[in-house]
Chains A and B, each alone.
Chain A
Amino acid sequence: MSPCRPQRPVAMPAALLDPNTVCCLTEDDAVMGDWSEVTRPIPVPNEWTKPFWDAARRGVLELQRCQSCGHFQHPPYATCLKCMSIDLKFEPVGGSGTIYAYTIMNHSGDKRFAPVVPYASIIVELDAAPGALLAGNLLGAPYTEAKVGRRVEVIFERLNDDITLPQFRLAVATPAE
């Protein structure tokens, strides 16, 4: 059973920072929510997570990386979850990956997200950081495009002067594995 399709016109988030590529809007626009209508909860960076958000503000995806064993991990943690090292730094990581899992939210308990219901909340595993799972929304595509294994790439959605969210859209080119 597929979730029912919504009947609403749509747009890309106005605040998308997308330096290289422009997403094409298609006839599928009809099943894309208008994210510009959504007020998202704003992340509050802390000691562990500040470098992640600082990088995102510059349009760069950086993850915590163990300087002993090279393991990338996300969310950031006190120790390397592979080797227990505490020598951790944030390093840029490639933004290509696959949809690891997803859900389609049909419930609009939180009214701030009601304008985009149903929407795809996805979990992405980056090619360069196996095991590090990033949450996002599938932007610029109908929610029905969310499937496990689908290729995606990072884009950035500016929320305010301090916070820019890493987000995802379907990969523009079919990547070579």
Chain B
Amino acid sequence: MWENRCKIAISGVGYSKVSRSSEIPLAAHALAAVKDAVADSGLRMEDIDGLSTYPELPATGHAEVDGISVVSVNCMMAMLKLPSLTWHMQVGSNNIGGAVQTAANALLAGMCKYVVVWRAMHNPKGTYQNLPGAQAPGPLQFTAPYGFGGPGQHMAVAYTRYLERHNQSRDKMVTLALAQRKHTQHNPHAYFHGTPLTREDYFNSRMVAYPFCLFDCDIPVQGAVAIVMTTADRARDLKPKPAYLAGYGQRLHFEVAGRIGSLANYMEGGASSAKLTWERSGFTPKDVDVAQIYDGFSASVIYGLESYGFCKEGEALDFIQDGRIELDGELPLNTFGGSLGTGRIHGLWHIIEGALQASGRAGSRQVKGANVSFVGASAPIVTGTTFIFVGEPY
């Protein structure tokens, strides 16, 4: 087991308004979320001495402009002008989960006392995923000429392989979409709060990239979420009940850019990250009370459930049936609605919900008696990170 388990905690959490339009600059969303998280902790902004994020815009064919379409550490530093800042970091290879893990390491090393981690996501005008222009350079030269655009199509090809190799039906995915939309109705910050989804809506929706229909894809939004992380002893003196970090992992598998469609790579990526997390925390999938698994595209949850070890390969579409992933089920899943419910803010919201469930702060969607709270914070293949939070340190 990890000697530092339960020595770091998530304290406050914060949200900006989530909207479809980008009339307010993204920096304003990020600032709102950060202020909200700091206030939730009962801290003053001057107490914050660490900053960490992953700023990338996952849309293709759009300019990255700091403050408009991304919010970098530099941008946040310029806005906050923190008097006691001692540490900051912006990660590349592990998405927002990497920013959280790096912040935990910095806190353990004594580099800072209170770190804010944020994720701000822009919704650009026009088509989200664009093919390149007249020319396809780099890895795109082997994909774009054939009409392969963004991650949705890349994941869709792996999904057809999954379905046909395992003799499974995409129709079963409706259960995930409906359960998550139901959970969304308990999350007032979510984009689809107040908008129910029916079985008919799912089956009548337009196909985007078969086997993905509209409701298998998270909706692009403009918004930000943030957390305050600190050491466990400091967290106990703050306003909210802490969620303790019991263990974490990162994917140890890398696929060459431009090589797409391999299902094994999702499985190897997820399994490698989860193995570290189980070993470090000392828990097993059977110990988990509640799980958040990244769902930018629905199939990502299926790959996650299997590669993390919650069920066997080829069985996840059956595993999610019969109420198992409902709030009172055996494994309540994506209890905040997931990205399919909140809109595309990436995995920090999954981490937030993992922390809220562990500390009993999830309100009307709280899973009763939840202690061991699992998070898979992005698609297992490229940027997968996994976490376990607990309410009771051990």
- A133 adjacent to B140 (CB under 8 Å): no
A165: chain B residues at CB < 8 Å are 145-146
Quick check: is A68 within 8 A (CB to CB) of the other chain?
A: no
Q: How many residues of B contact A (CB 8 A)?
A: 50
User: Which one, B130, B143, B149, B256, contacts A81 given CB within 8 A?
Assistant: B256
Q: How far is the CB of A53 from chain B (nearest CB, A)?
A: 8
Beyond A41-B144, A42-B134, A43-B142, whether A110 also contacts B160 by CB under 8 A is no
Contact A118 B207 (CB under 8 A): yes
Is A67 in contact with chain B by the CB < 8 A criterion? no
Q: Is B309 an interface residue (CB 8 A)?
A: no
For A122, the chain B residues whose CB sits under 8 A away are 157
- Asked if residues A110 and B143 are in contact (CB atoms below 8 Å), the reply is no
Contact of A96 with B by CB under 8 A? no
Chain A residues lying within 8 Å of B39, measured Cβ to Cβ, are none
Closest CB of chain B to A3's CB: distance in Å? 5
- Would you list which residues of chain A between 125 and 177 have a CB under 8 Å from chain B? 133-137, 147-149, 159, 165
Give the number of residues in A that approach B within 8 Å (Cβ atoms): 43
B136 touches A43 (CB 8 A): yes
In the bound complex, what is the Cα–Cα distance between A176 and B209 (angstroms)? 33
Verify B259–A44 contact, CB threshold 8 A. no
Cα–Cα distance between A105 and B137 once the two chains are bound (Å): 22
Instruction: Note all chain A residues with C-beta closer than 8 A to B258.
Output: 75
Query: Is A24 interfacial (CB-CB < 8 Å)?
Result: no
A42, B147: Cα distance in complex, Å: 11
> In the bound complex, how far is the Cα of B170 from the Cα of A75, in angstroms?
30
**In contact, B134 and A149 (Cβ under 8 angstroms):** no
A82 within 8 A of B: no
Tell me whether B164 is interfacial, beta carbon within 8 Å.
yes
Decide if B141 touches A103 in the complex (CB within 8 Å): no
> Within 8 Å of chain B (Cβ to Cβ): is A36?
no
A151 to B149 Cα, complex, angstroms? 25
A106 to B159, CA, bound (A): 16
Q: A135 with B146: in contact, given A49-B141, A107-B208 (CB under 8 Å)?
A: yes
CB atoms of B262 and A133 under 8 A apart:
yes
CA distance A81 to B262 in the complex (A): 15
Q: Known: A4-B207, A75-B139, A110-B127. Is A133-B261 also a contact (CB below 8 A)?
A: yes
Partner of A147, one of B135, B164, B260, B261: B164
Contact B135 A103 (CB under 8 A): no
Cβ proximity bits B150-188 to A, threshold 8 Å, 1 near / 0 not: 000100111111001100001100000000000000000
Query: Which residues of the other chain, A, contact B159 by a CB distance below 8 angstroms?
Result: 103
In angstroms, Cα B261 to Cα A122, docked, is 9
Interface 1/0 per residue, B199-223 and A, CB below 8 Å: 0000100111111010000000000
Complexed CA–CA distance, A104 and B171 (Å): 16
Q: A75-B258, A101-B263, A106-B209 are in contact. List 20 more A-B contacts (CB 8 A).
A: A4-B207, A40-B145, A40-B146, A41-B136, A41-B144, A43-B144, A44-B137, A44-B141, A75-B256, A75-B259, A101-B161, A102-B157, A105-B147, A106-B206, A106-B208, A110-B149, A121-B148, A121-B153, A122-B157, A135-B260
A to B CB contacts below 8 Å, 30 in the list: A1-B170, A1-B203, A41-B134, A41-B140, A42-B145, A43-B135, A43-B136, A75-B256, A101-B160, A101-B161, A103-B156, A103-B160, A103-B209, A105-B147, A105-B209, A106-B206, A106-B208, A107-B208, A109-B127, A109-B149, A110-B130, A113-B147, A121-B153, A122-B157, A133-B261, A135-B142, A135-B260, A137-B146, A147-B164, A148-B160
A residues with a Cβ closer than 8 A to B are 1, 3-4, 40-46, 49, 74-75, 77, 81, 100-107, 109-110, 112-113, 116, 118-119, 121-123, 133-137, 147-149, 159, 165
The 4 lowest CB-CB distance pairs between A and B, nearest first, are: A123-B261, A43-B141, A104-B210, A103-B156
